[in-house]
Amino acid sequence: MAGGGLFARLKAAAAEDWHAYCHHRFVAGIADGSLPEAAFRHYLVQDYLFLIQFARAYALAAFKADGIADMRSAAAVLQAILDVEMQLHLDHCATWGLDEHDMAAAPEALETTAYTRFVLDCGQRGDALDLAAALAPCVVGYGEIGRRLAADPATVGRGNRYASWIETYAGAAYQEVAGAAVAQLDRLWAARGSDARLKPLARLFAQATRLECAFWDMGWRAGAG
């Protein structure tokens, strides 16, 4: 998926952080079904709150876009988050006894606030390329995690209460979303990139990846308590 474009370069520059994110013990617990239910339930609530801010980030991406094509691309993702992904998330949460009213009333965890406001700040202070780089660890990372878990013979399928989560992010629909994010990074790099921008973008990408790790940590601690 990553090829030899900007995403591959950013990922390589943040290799240690990326591995910690994609192989986090929270992810391992999803793979073998050992993750405590309390950890996953807390994660689901915070992920709902995260999606609200994530949608705002794509509204900002439309504002920051250079032309109609990129505006339409950002608007399409925004609509997909609001009308499709959030509903799928709510449907999944319902199977865990969580409803939208309760989740909307829940306070944001500090990790949720830190991550989402970091992404929004990157977009507000920078340009569309900065924002895309800040969004990439989430969008592309979940696709990579889902694909790897689905292909790993050690991943537990039958009887794993988290199998549907794996199937969602390994599925063709989400893989297309992740691939489109990689392609968008390359388009923005071609239009706005330069050697001088690579290191700042790599720092931004690495920080967003570490914030993803902190998001997993937040869920894990909820299960440990």
Q: Mind listing the pLDDT tens digit for each residue in 7-47?
A: 999 999 999 999 999 999 999 999 999 999 999 999 999 99
Cβ within 8 Å of residue 159, ≥6 positions away = 33
CA distance 212 to 197: 23
pLDDT at 223: 81
- Of 85, 122, 212, 213, the active-site residue reads 212
**Count of the separate structural domains present in the chain:** 1
Tell whether 1 is covered by a domain: no
Query: How does 78-91 read in b/e, with b if 16+ C-beta sit within 10 Å?
Result: beebeeebbeebbe
Tell whether 32 is covered by a domain: yes
**Is 37 an active-site residue?**
no
- Of 93, 138, 144, 213, the active-site residue reads 138
127: CATH: 1.20.910.10
Residues 104-141: tens digit of each pLDDT: 999 999 999 999 999 999 999 999 999 999 999 999 99
Report which residue type is found at 94: A
pLDDT at 2: 39
CA distances in angstroms from 85 to 91, 140, 143, 160, 168, listed in the order given = 10, 15, 14, 22, 10
Tell whether 199 is covered by a domain: yes
Tell whether 119 is covered by a domain: yes
Q: Domain limits at 166? A: 6-224
Tell whether 76 is covered by a domain: yes
Please state whether the predicted TM-score (pTM) of the whole model is above 0.85: yes
**Is 111 an active-site residue?**
no
CA distance 73 to 62: 8
Tell whether 12 is covered by a domain: yes
Q: What is the mean pLDDT of residues 174-181?
A: 89
The percent of residues above 70 in pLDDT, for the chain, comes to 98
